[in-house]
Amino acid sequence: MFKLELLWALQNIDGEIVKYKRIQKNKETLIKLNDLKSQYGKLKESLQNDMVYKKDIVSQSEAFNLKLKTLDKRVKGDSEKLYNEASSIKVIENLQNEIEINKKEIDKIENQLLGIIEKDEKVTSEIKDKKENLIKLKKEFEELKEEYNKIIESGKEILERLEGKRAELLNEIDKGLLARYDEITAKKGSAISKVEKETCSQCGVKLNAILYDKLKKNDDINLCDHCGRILYI
């Protein structure tokens, strides 16, 4: 293989290595994974807070229901006394007042219970939605992570093969020529420019006739007058 062909092959392999190393880093996927993880953590914390809140609501509801039973029992007891045991107007008035006070307290507690029931229904619905969203987020995270791991593993295998091919090429290329290739690559990002239709494909400048004729006739190193890259035809 001629030296220019070797350099061209090396540049192609270097380009593939850069591409697969970029895939290996895959910043967009990592950002997405971290974002999903963050969303999951925040939603889980919110769900836990809602469950604590629901527990408090249930406790309040139980306390109010217990109080209602106590008041209802008192009203029934006072009503029985009113009809069966009242012996004077004063006793009757006292019982009636007590019954009225307890009934007002019952109405008040029942209204509070209605508010608690509404809160319970709302938080129960939110808990349900958040649990479903947690399942979706977890599934999306696991699927993306599995896909990412496959890409990483596949990329490692390809990189190993490319590095092996590169090592073989380096053994065939003159060290001085390789040093020149590395120097131009470091400055311009790529050292070799394919000549297409008598034009440098990297900078787009048309080659003069003498230079183009030299390229066709030999395998010597010739640089583009404009961008300074090694020309390959």
Question: Domains plus CATH for the chain?
Answer: 26-173 (1.10.287.1490), 174-233 (no CATH)
Residue 126 CB partners (closer than 8 Å, separation 6+): 50
Query: How large is the C-alpha radius of gyration of the chain?
Result: 42
Q: How far apart are CA 36 and CA 13, in angstroms?
A: 35
Other beta carbons less than 10 A from residue 119's beta carbon: 16
Tell which residue, 3, 13, 18, has the closest CA to residue 175.
3
pLDDT at residue 1, as a whole number: 46
- Residue 138 pLDDT exceeds 70: yes
Q: Could you give the maximum distance between any two Cα atoms of the chain, in Å?
A: 134
Distance CA 118, CA 111 (A): 11
**What confidence tens digit (pLDDT) does each residue in 180-229 have?**
999 999 999 999 999 999 999 999 999 999 999 988 887 788 999 999 99
